[in-house]
Structure 1
Amino acid sequence: MCLGIPGELVDTVDEQPDLAVVMVSGVRRKINVALLSDQDLRLGDWVLVHVGFALSKISEDEARAVLSFLSSLGTPYDDELNALRESNIG
């Protein structure tokens, strides 16, 4: 199962403007934010991450609700977090 997971933007990658760093349930990873180039993304914003890409900007309230639901799924969410830990973009 592949899930879209909310991540908080916590850093930028100066040498690669299409990349940013998100924090997802304690996991920090670079993601591609090019699909949201028309958005005014800032540190602290929340995005929905799927296969290493930010797909949409979401509110913090929505992010918290989705994270709560996903954590209740148990194994599928744990598997997704493990895949995120092992990924390497950029």
Structure 2
Amino acid sequence: MCLSIPSKVVEIDSERNVAKVDTMGVIREAGLELMEDGDVKIGDYVLLHIGFVMNKISEEDALASIETYREILEIMDREEREKIILEDDNCPNRGV
């Protein structure tokens, strides 16, 4: 099972149709092909799956989820935390 960590949109490249997102301090790009044009804006919180923005979520829900993840990640060392965050895009069940 994959759990998507809420990510905050920090930049949008309309020409490439990608957003730069901040996932708990890790900046990465995510494709916007699965969203309606103009639906995602800077400052929005989104959920990603295999490198694509799948949907938007409210700031309230995003911050609650992030706080839960922070509590879990506090017991991990830095390398483990970064690995978990980056592996969020590499869900083994992506074909399901």
Give TM class, smaller chain: 0.7 to 0.9
CA displacement, residues 15-49 of structure 1 (integer Å, 9 cap, x when unaligned): 312x1110111111000121112662111111012
TM-score by length of 2: 0.71
Please say which structure displays the higher CA radius of gyration: 2
Partner deviation per Cα, 1:27-72 (whole Å, 9 max, x = no partner): 1100012111266211111101222111110011111001111222
CA RMSD of aligned residues (A): 2.2
**Contact kept in structure 2, 1:5 and 1:50, CA below 8 Å:** no
Q: Distance in 2 between matches of 1:59 and 1:2?
A: 20
Q: Is this contact kept in 2: 1:4–1:50, CA < 8 A?
A: yes
Equivalence for 2:15: 15
In structure 1, list runs of 5 or more residues that go unmatched: 85-90
* Secondary structure, aligned partner of 1:2: coil
- Gaps of at least 5 residues in structure 2 are 89-96
Q: Which runs of 4+ in 1 moved over 3 A?
A: none
The structure carrying a bigger helix percent of its residues is 1
The percent of aligned pairs where both chains have the same amino acid is: 34
Tell me how many residue pairs correspond in the alignment.
82
